[in-house]
Amino acid sequence: MIPILPTTNEITITVKVNGDIKISKNILKQLTEVYRKIRNTARFILGNLSDFDPDKEILPYEELEEIDKFILLTLNKFIKDITYAYKNYEFHQVYHRYQYFSTVTLSSFYLDILKDRLYVEHPKSKRRLAAQTTIYTILNAFVKMLAPILSFTAEEIWQNMPHKREENLESVQLAPWPQEIRIPEDKELQEKWEKITNIRESILKELEKKRAEGIIGNSLDAKVYLATDNKELLKFLEENKDILREVFIVSTLEIDKKDKAQYFSHKDENLKDLYIGVEQAKGEKCARCWVISEEVGRDPKHPDLCPRCNKIVEDL
């Protein structure tokens, strides 16, 4: 097996233009890992765009889901930051921002949550098309701004991704520089999703504890309880219950004001009013979406499916 090694471009962009270039086996190993993560992020998106036609199936911004709109706001900031860094020869900032955007914003957050919609929903459902519209928009900007520093990888992505008719150019090097997407600057939406991501981080810590204790395997094995005496927080949790369950990637979510003694208090100062409990979800695992539910098998025609998957399969 031929090892993946960083190129000269990769090595030079990690330092300031007026700084000395350091090299060692450890540095090369770190660069290789970052490159692998960027490449794997692009590969995941490509794999989920194989049946997507951007000329016919792109949905308007208004029809996207909240999390899609939030990630596009994040993409706009990414485009702005990367463009500024290139213009000011701050290539090390390009490197660090690509690393964070690929591994944290996309792989660990958005794409992880998106797997359910991409893998489970009907191939041509609005929810799945909204997901594909968003990841296509991300990849289209991502690959163009990657071209100056990872030319061959960007070219490989470009040759294998779908394109709109007017952008079906021979090479990514001929493509225009991406501009920020013309979408509303929705501060309320941004604040809401920043709050959701903070709660998610707390939930993930509790899920990891239960995984280490052997109570659950993956997150879909879990039933999560949330409780609070904070009326404002309680209202927020109840209004966004369905979104939160999807974002936590758990099978069941319950929200109430029960006795706090049965919950685990989280130490995070920002979430001091939130109490979290995790236990093994009850029921059977759906063979298609892997969600554990007591409703699995209620339809004799599909004894190993949950009601949601049963409906999707019937519509295929």
Residue by residue, pLDDT tens for the chain (316 residues) are: 445 545 545 545 555 555 556 667 776 788 888 899 999 999 999 999 999 999 999 999 999 999 999 999 999 999 999 999 999 989 889 999 999 999 999 999 999 999 999 999 999 999 999 999 999 999 999 999 999 999 999 999 999 999 999 999 999 999 999 999 999 999 999 999 999 999 999 999 999 999 999 999 999 999 999 988 888 999 999 999 999 999 999 999 999 876 554 555 554 556 778 888 899 999 999 999 999 999 998 989 999 999 999 999 999 8
pLDDT for the residue numbered 250:
97
Find out whether 199 and 181 touch, Cβ atoms under 8 Å: no
Read off the tokens for 269: 């100062």
pLDDT for the residue numbered 5:
47
Find out whether 257 and 234 touch, Cβ atoms under 8 Å: yes
- Determine how many CB atoms are found less than 10 A away from the CB of residue 243: 16
Instruction: State how far the Cα of 124 lies from the Cα of 136, in Å rounded to an integer.
Output: 15
* Domains of the chain: residue spans and CATH: 8-174 (1.10.730.20), 189-282 (3.30.2320.20)
* Amino acid code (one letter) for 145: M
Find out whether 33 and 173 touch, Cβ atoms under 8 Å: no
pLDDT for the residue numbered 34:
87
Compute the chain's Rg from CA coordinates: 22
Q: Closest Cα to residue 141, out of 130, 152, 118, 157?
A: 157
Alpha helix (H) ranges present in the chain?
A: 8-12, 25-47, 54-57, 66-87, 91-100, 111-120, 126-146, 151-160, 187-212, 231-239, 241-248, 307-315
Q: Closest Cα to residue 44, out of 113, 115, 99?
A: 115
Q: Is 95 helix (H, G, I), strand (E, B) or coil?
A: helix
Q: Are strands 252-256 and 222-227 parallel, antiparallel or unpaired?
A: parallel
Find out whether 13 and 97 touch, Cβ atoms under 8 Å: no
pLDDT for the residue numbered 270:
61
Read off the tokens for 285: 């695992």
